[in-house]
Structure 1
């Protein structure tokens, strides 16, 4: 027998909860303890909780009051940190249902960490009182969570009155209590294992003192629910949320069944739950999913699961009811309730007339339905409905709202339609940026450095914003045509020669080998090749042992194709997908492929139709692969957008949406006069935002350039996005410009690269291609004479907020963070910077005052801000505050906490 844990916790123990957290947690106690605060029980939900607004439906449970009203609850917001409870009722045996009558939607932390209410159940106790159990936890599960309960003594009234919420223990329950023969109430509570913790700061050590009770626990009340005491528990091998239920057998033993990754496991107790037998797999087969088992009035036991009694299905379908009259030794009948796919999580109750009501969900994120069945024991035994009042597949609720995209890391709420489909390809107006007008109330700044490239984080300032362009490295070009493949014409498309072309290629740092890797095209329309470097200045062409030298894919439409885009995915979960490729294999559609090393490639997957020169990038803030798709339109070349969490599945471009054009602020070249076009758009996550490279095409037309044997002009301009789709482009000067001078290696046709840039110490390096139009042998051509150079910028140096001799200040919007120190990127060798902290009302928070701040002088891309008598920001961690920066004779580039 398993020995009971030496732990017996009564209900009222909240004063000890704060000590549960580890002292070295990165999260402040004020954030950790948010789930310990009672949530507002919303008994008058607004339209935002209506069926037309909700996008998800996962059943929680249901029960019947003594007078016959049925209450049911389900989760909306997704099986995710956004989860919240919705409850409705029926007064006609489930034929019709009310609108939402109760909502439990915990408020999120100011730092952006979400608090969820994910699992629970309704239960009518023997006194007729209705209970609603629910959990509260940071980000679905923080290692502790907490089971809460509210009760109602008048659940049949027009205006039911619910008690104040009270916390029973850690963990959560998904199933109803069992009333034992001795009058005790036994409540199943699961405290999940550490691998389920969704808060990064708590994964390793958070709440480690609870590790000995991470199991399927049972709590007992001997005073009608006033207090609950832990009696024992079972640590099931291969646990998968537990979701355990307890049936008292006629010999007084307790039979616990639980969900595991191997199916249903079971354990028995002969001492009212104090000790339990070693768990074993049950003879009842089931896939890893919730099931329902309950003693009936007749003394028989009912079981609801997916599939037959001896059947383990591969998917959640065929919800079926069984009956046992020999204490679960054998099972009879088999009433198929719902054969459809996506039916799961049964729960229910028995009415005084003997009828059984079962609820489950169907297609939580697709059909989004809550389904009810009403049947009898006779129906189960007959395997069909033989009772006149019985009925299956009754629709309780169906959510019909648009898919909720969610809140971003920086507090921005994305619209329900994502990606947005309201772009106008015919417009030549600058792209609107919604989040700059409709700002969050509080700005979480947990994600890296905060830049001043827009007014997103600025409440007010009298500092002057200055835009900075990249400096072309004095050793340019750092990589130029040298091999036969690069120097000679490939002759697949014209006779252009002497080409080392990124377009788009890719330049990345590979930490596995501590090398920079450049993927480029060797020769105009040549093969895909790779070069490596230790410093971004000196490059070598390694022998890859493939088709020749450093060539990864030879020329030709069946191999390297035309223009390509390559991403070195150093965080790939599958090592076979470490190198990702998008290439143009005209006349076929573009193709997506992956490779572990660039030597061997997966079978290509074709995309939808598009123009040449498409690319892609990864948005880590939303964990999606984004495709920048070239099309033509009213204003010439433009870009369309598609995204997918899976790179290969992203090949479906059928639902791509218009993204952006060049616009009226992109001025034509004075000597050419052609309207600007958007030749390409690449992007990368840089610190707390997405950095976009806009390749602006200024002409002349290809025909003119081909006849004159000189390159067309494209230049790189920048855009910044905080939602990954909308671009703010405040500086329309070229960030990397074409010289327009005959004989210069980067005279024209400037291109960036997939990956955009590389952070190297205190600088950002931007690889780019330039065209001279002239080969070493004197031959000219529109696509002749391409080399690769580097442009360099101070880290975070896109824009600075500047002050001269007269002091200026900048006050941020309300921000929240969990870090302990403030850093700045500042250049003030002749001046100084000081910082003070304000509360939301603008009052200075001591001791973080201006007078206490140690003045910062000098030039540093990473400078700690310190206050006298306050070595850390512990006094304001987790709370909304504002930073006010006071600057003289200097430039402020960014700030961040860590």
Structure 2
């Protein structure tokens, strides 16, 4: 990390430590008992997330559909259901962007979006739904058990689903719904959160959905603070590519879900779909990467996420304009899962390459893309450097990782392969440990790489020759 960043951190950490610490403590231990929000009104960013009463016409499907008409989850592949339901695998031609979570009892859950008709089509994602799948045997076998499909609501489409676990161990699912209201409803895009009531059962019951807001809040897992409050990452995807617009934000929520403040990153026209995922460093400050044109940029906050300073491009190039994830492990090390690919210009030609463990550079030959070589890294110094790494998968176009931790210290990581590519569109799961990454190879008996969570072509589905997606 550039020298000036370390200097700034050391210079102001002491001055901010006392005030920041009170923000991290539960209210009963804080001098003020409240968090002081910055001057961005959550309603001005999220919209008015209050929902009309159950007797309101907008709450009575199928009448009076608005952006506040609640969505639902559909149970599939259950006893007694006809086998030819419309979400079955042998109809699917496209899928990707997975997430993973694990229950306290060890049941794995995964989600991703897919379609029987076409590849991803922003902004309304017509004919697209999100799948929820589960495994009771550590990821060896999987069963699709729910779908989030808003198509019955004026042809709505789903995108960017999320699974995450809160401070109480409850697993939550966020479905992002998109309906074309022709510009007449501020909740044409809306994020809805459901909570599992019994995550040890494959067909768990769910809470009623809660409306989170009208932004994309479902790509990156929230950061959980010691007091149970959370920081959600947000992005206004409609403004990607529009210059000089603020769109990369964070939402701080209390344990009760009440918005405490919304903060904003300064405008950065290099940013793509930012997909920021902050961590809390040992000194209490926050650090995050965000996706940009030539790699990952970084930002820091020294006041609990209320204000942010941009640091520019991180010195190590990786995950060029694609998603990476950060997570602090119980050991204190920081896990980074990212695409280990670098890019340079050679005579006007874009060259993708990587650097091996001996410091030798190799141009990519088979898969000339920034989205390959999915790799797990470890940092010993709060993300300043990542000296340890282990390759997880370089079999084609690999992207969009998500990770969760088992009680035994196992790290479960999912990612997708060739979302609409013939014979691929696969969701992979790898199970590793810190010791594996430190060794640069699998050394733990229970570890494995690239178990198949879902591959439609293995079940008679998938994209075929001549399909135009």
Task: Report 1 or 2 for greater relative contact order, CA contacts < 8 Å, sequence distance ≥ 6.
Answer: 2
Give secondary structure in 1 for the equivalent of 2:289. Answer: strand
Moved more, 236-245 or 364-373: 236-245
Q: Equivalent residue for 2:230?
A: 185
Report the CA distance between 1:193 and its aligned residue: 4.2
CA distance in structure 2 between the aligned counterparts of 1:217 and 1:164, rounded to whole angstroms: 26
The answer to whether the 8 A contact 2:342-2:370 is kept is no
Q: Equivalent residue for 1:95?
A: 140
> In the TM superposition, what whole-angstrom CA distance separates every residue of 1:401-447 from its partner, at most 9, and x where no partner exists?
5568xxxxxxxxxxx9978xxxxxxxxxxxxxxxxxxxxxxxxxxxx
Report the CA distance between 1:349 and its aligned residue: 0.8
> In the TM superposition, what whole-angstrom CA distance separates every residue of 1:162-191 from its partner, at most 9, and x where no partner exists?
111121112112011111234321111212
Give secondary structure in 2 for the equivalent of 1:150. Answer: strand
Q: Equivalent residue for 2:451?
A: 394
Relative to structure 1, the CA distance from residue 265 to residue 402 in structure 2 (aligned partners, 3 Å threshold; closer, same or farther) is same
Report the CA distance between 1:133 and its aligned residue: 1.2
Report the CA distance between 1:148 and its aligned residue: 1.3
> In the TM superposition, what whole-angstrom CA distance separates every residue of 1:717-762 from its partner, at most 9, and x where no partner exists?
xxxxxxxxxxxxxxxxxxxxxxxxxxxxxxxxxxxxxxxxxxxxxx
Task: Kindly indicate whether residue 91 of structure 2 is the aligned counterpart of residue 36 of structure 1.
Answer: no
Report the CA distance between 1:60 and its aligned residue: 2.7
CA distance in structure 1 between the aligned counterparts of 2:308 and 2:342, rounded to whole angstroms: 25
Structure 1: tracts of 5 or more residues without a match: 18-29, 198-210, 405-415, 420-643, 646-898
Larger radius of gyration: 1
Task: Kindly indicate whether residue 213 of structure 2 is the aligned counterpart of residue 169 of structure 1.
Answer: yes
CA distance in structure 1 between the aligned counterparts of 2:87 and 2:43, rounded to whole angstroms: 36
Normalising by structure 2, what TM-score? 0.73
CA distance in structure 1 between the aligned counterparts of 2:233 and 2:455, rounded to whole angstroms: 29
The answer to whether the 8 A contact 1:128-1:153 is kept is no
Q: Equivalent residue for 2:283?
A: 251
Task: Kindly indicate whether residue 118 of structure 2 is the aligned counterpart of residue 54 of structure 1.
Answer: no
The answer to whether the 8 A contact 2:295-2:317 is kept is yes
The answer to whether the 8 A contact 2:51-2:68 is kept is no
Q: Equivalent residue for 1:303?
A: 336
Give secondary structure in 2 for the equivalent of 1:101. Answer: strand
CA distance in structure 2 between the aligned counterparts of 1:363 and 1:31, rounded to whole angstroms: 39
Task: Kindly indicate whether residue 169 of structure 2 is the aligned counterpart of residue 137 of structure 1.
Answer: no
Equivalent pairs counted in the alignment come to: 379
Q: Equivalent residue for 1:122?
A: 163
Q: Equivalent residue for 1:327?
A: 382
Relative to structure 1, the CA distance from residue 188 to residue 364 in structure 2 (aligned partners, 3 Å threshold; closer, same or farther) is same
Relative to structure 1, the CA distance from residue 158 to residue 74 in structure 2 (aligned partners, 3 Å threshold; closer, same or farther) is closer
Greater fraction of residues in helix: 2
Task: Kindly indicate whether residue 262 of structure 2 is the aligned counterpart of residue 231 of structure 1.
Answer: yes
Relative to structure 1, the CA distance from residue 127 to residue 109 in structure 2 (aligned partners, 3 Å threshold; closer, same or farther) is closer
Of 361, 364, 383, 2:416 maps to 361
CA distance in structure 1 between the aligned counterparts of 2:64 and 2:239, rounded to whole angstroms: 16
Give secondary structure in 1 for the equivalent of 2:43. Answer: coil
Give secondary structure in 1 for the equivalent of 2:437. Answer: helix
Report the CA distance between 1:194 and its aligned residue: 3.0
Q: Equivalent residue for 1:343?
A: 398
Root-mean-square deviation over aligned CA pairs: 3.3
Mapping for residues 810-849 of structure 1, pairs under 5 Å: none
> In the TM superposition, what whole-angstrom CA distance separates every residue of 1:451-496 from its partner, at most 9, and x where no partner exists?
xxxxxxxxxxxxxxxxxxxxxxxxxxxxxxxxxxxxxxxxxxxxxx
Relative to structure 1, the CA distance from residue 310 to residue 183 in structure 2 (aligned partners, 3 Å threshold; closer, same or farther) is farther
Of 297, 301, 315, 1:265 maps to 297
CA distance in structure 1 between the aligned counterparts of 2:182 and 2:339, rounded to whole angstroms: 27
Normalising by structure 1, what TM-score? 0.39
Q: Equivalent residue for 2:431?
A: 374
Of 90, 95, 105, 2:149 maps to 105
Q: Equivalent residue for 2:321?
A: 288
Q: Equivalent residue for 2:103?
A: 65
Q: Equivalent residue for 1:833?
A: none
Report the CA distance between 1:237 and its aligned residue: 2.6
> In the TM superposition, what whole-angstrom CA distance separates every residue of 1:276-319 from its partner, at most 9, and x where no partner exists?
11352222312111111111111100011111589965331111
Task: Kindly indicate whether residue 129 of structure 2 is the aligned counterpart of residue 84 of structure 1.
Answer: yes
Give secondary structure in 1 for the equivalent of 2:310. Answer: coil
CA distance in structure 1 between the aligned counterparts of 2:130 and 2:110, rounded to whole angstroms: 10
